[in-house]
Structure 1
Amino acid sequence: MNNFSYTKANSVDEAVSLTHANEENKIIAGGTNIIDLMKYFVTEADTLIDINPIDGIAEITELDNGGIRIGALMTNADTAYHPIIEEKYPLLSKAILAGASAQIRNMATNGGNLLQRTRCYYFYDINTPCNKRVPGSGCCAMKGYNRIHAILGHSENCIAVFPSDMCVALASLEAVVHISGTDGDRILKFSDFHRLPEDTPEIDNNLKKGEVITGIELPEKGFSKNYSYLKLRDRSSYSFALVSVATGLELENGIIKEARIALGGVSHKPWRVKEAEDFLAGKEANPENFEAVADIILEGAVGFEHNSFKINLAKKAIVRNCMMALDPASQRPGAKPSL
């Protein structure tokens, strides 16, 4: 770990100013990702800016439009167990609780969750080429051990995946990110927050220099009656998804009025295909239609030597998760699956 200075920001404006002053200044909140990155010499910081003293961005606020705003400094654990989240947005609660460990969720913040970096083996190994770490150096994962890597949205420069569980649910719920910067405040649709690698895999998201996430807004509709989050992984805890699926359905007499389906573990950002969701509108909620929508979502998927299995796994996960969403009680421990 390199030597660095440490300071505290007591307001959002101060955090913005300190971050904007030097590109090598980094924000720290829970520290569950950036400390690892610094320990492995993947990233360096001239100054760590602790934003925990900032008031007003570590709570949930109910909005006049029926939605809520979740503070960026609120921990993952406090968010998942908050009564409003459990009641109105159980899909988000379930996704958060599928991630990491209880100890990490107690420290990790919501803003940090959006900003965490890939867990690609080669990204963390500074002795290997990685376009995300050193642009133009190459991508070892292409011809290396790529079992956990992307099957959708990758480029010739990077096949890493975004590791968050929480963000998969936020994508399906059509969240909005609140941001403060030197030019003032702005909001960004969640679908526009993270980036695909293309020619600039080192850029994970569309935050501008010096900008700070202050909150995440959720619309009123939370799909609290018919929802499911499914995470398929190598072990049952403290493991990143090979494939994950967040599903929210609005049903009327067995007919789908609206569907939201987002995938994790398959791309550089949470993966949604609006055309697939539109396909389900007005159709019966049955395995045949869910199989058809899975084919649409995975259209164009390309695997590599060790991860081609993910394509079929993702299709089966979509069908299974959509069926589970018809009866959320089936997700309880010991319950028999619907399919």
Structure 2
Amino acid sequence: MRPFKYTTASTPTTAVGLAQSNPNARFLAGGTNLIDLMKEDVARPDELIDINSLKLNSISAITGGGISLGALGKNTEAANHPLVRKNYPLLTKAILAGASAQIRNMATNGGNLLQRTRCTYFYDTAMPCNKREPGSGCAALQGINRMHAIFGWSENCVAVYPSDMAIALTALKARVKVLQPGGTTRSIPIEDFHRLPGEQPQHDNTLRTGELITAIELPPNDFAAHSAYLKVRDRNSYAFALVSVAAGLVLKGNTILSSQLVMGGVAHKPWALKAAEQFLKNKAATVDNFSKAAEITMQEARPLNHNKFKIELGKRTLISALQTALKG
């Protein structure tokens, strides 16, 4: 690990000011990903700004319905909060599918969104990686890419985004509240928060220099009774998704009025299944229609040398998640 300056921020405004003045600084909250990256010499900040004393950890109802998750609230607290369990069980299921209890007790809600890829070439500093060193190449493109993307990748990067929580938050139409330098704020729809790699895979999200996540807001929804999060992985614990699906259904009898479907483990960001949602609208909730939606989803897939299995796995995972959501 390289030497770095350690600074403690007493207010959100102070934290943002410090980060704006040093583009190579990083905010330190739970540190469950950042510290690992620093140990591996992948992340090389010259300053850590400790934000753990900021009052950004509350979970509360908001005016007009919905809830606000403080950015510094722990993942465990979010998963087990009564408001979340009652109104957003999809989020609870997704959080509990991720990491270990020990990590969930440390990891923060805002930090969860900022996780970096677990691509082995990204972590191996002896290998070329455009995400780690722009312009060096993508070793995974022609390497062992079993865990990598089948949607939205570019010649510059085929890595996938690792968070389970963000897959559910995308299905829940969350918004990310951000404090900007100068004290102004903005609210980013989560579907616009994470980026596809394009020509700049080093940028995982749309945050600007100095910006600080302060909260994640979830609007009301109508599918708490019919939602599911299904994660398929190589082992049943402490593993990242090969494919995951967050599914929510709004039903009238056996008719699907609307759905929210998002897939993880397949792209550089949570992958919303818009075509499948459109197909299922006003259709009967049957296995046949679920299967057709799965076929539609995979029409745009571009598998790599070692991950063609994700096409069939993705279909089966989506069908199974929809069946589970239907049962409630």
* TM, length-normalised to structure 1: 0.95
Q: Which residue of 1 aligns with 2:146?
A: 147
Which residue is equivalent to 2:104?
105
SS of structure 1 residue aligned to 2:284: coil
Give me the whole-angstrom Cα distance separating, in 2, the residues matched to 1:285 and 1:201.
38
**Structure 2 contact 247–321 (Cα < 8 Å) conserved:** yes
User: Which residue of 2 is the match for residue 289 of structure 1?
Assistant: 289
Tell me how large the CA RMSD over aligned residues is.
Answer: 0.8
Identity %: 53
SS state at 1:259 partner: strand
Deviation at 1:275, TM superposition (A): 3.0
Report the counterpart of residue 176 of structure 1 in structure 2: 175
Equivalence for 2:91? 92
Residue in structure 1 matched with residue 115 of structure 2 by the alignment: 116
**Residue 313 (str. 1) matches residue 298 (str. 2):** no
Q: Distance in 2 between matches of 1:222 and 1:78?
A: 23
Retained in 2: the 8 A contact 1:173–1:222?
no
- Runs of 4+ displaced beyond 6 Å: none
Shift of 1:276: 2.1
Q: 1:270 to 1:130 in 2, by over 3 A?
A: same
Map 1:184-333; keep pairs closer than 5 Å: 184-221=184-221, 223-328=223-328
Structure 2 partner of 1:31: 31
Give the match for residue 21 of structure 1: 21
- Displacement of 1:222 in angstroms is 5.5
Q: Give the distance between the partners of 2:275 and 2:294, measured in 1 at CA.
A: 11
Superposition deviation, residue 281 in structure 1: 1.1
* Cα distance in 2 between the residues matched to 1:47 and 1:27: 9
Which blocks of at least 5 consecutive residues in structure 2 are unaligned? none
* Secondary structure in structure 2 of the residue aligned to 1:269: coil
Query: For each residue in 1:190-243, what CA deviation from the matched residue of structure 2 results, as whole angstroms up to 9, or x when unmatched?
Result: 000000001000000000110000000000115210000000000000000000
Cα displacement string for residues 97-154 of structure 1 (whole angstroms, at most 9, x for unaligned residues): 0000000000000000000100000000000000100111111101111110000000
Q: TM-score, normalised by structure 2?
A: 0.98
Is the contact between residue 263 and residue 273 of structure 2 (CA under 8 Å) also seen in structure 1?
no
The structural deviation recorded for 1:259 is 0.3
Q: In terms of mean alpha carbon deviation, does 179-188 or 107-116 score higher?
A: 179-188
In the TM superposition, residue 10 of structure 1 has moved relative to its aligned partner by 1.3
DSSP-derived class of the 1:113 partner: helix
Aligned counterparts of 1:11 and 1:301: Cα–Cα separation in 2: 45
- Matched with 2:78 is 79
Match of 2:4 in 1: 4
By how many angstroms is 1:5 displaced?
1.3
- Aligned residue in 1 for 2:54: 54
Structure 1's 222 and 71: CA in aligned 2 closer, same or farther, altered over 3 A?
farther
Asked if the contact 1:128/1:140 (under 8 Å) is kept, the reply is yes
- Partner letter of residue 235 of structure 2? R
Secondary structure class of the residue paired with 1:213: strand
User: Which structure 1 residue ranges, 5 or more long, are not aligned?
Assistant: 329-339
Secondary structure of the residue aligned to 2:267 is: coil
CA distance in 1, matches of 2:321, 2:313: 12
* Secondary structure in structure 1 of the residue aligned to 2:32: coil
Report how many aligned residue pairs link the two structures. 327
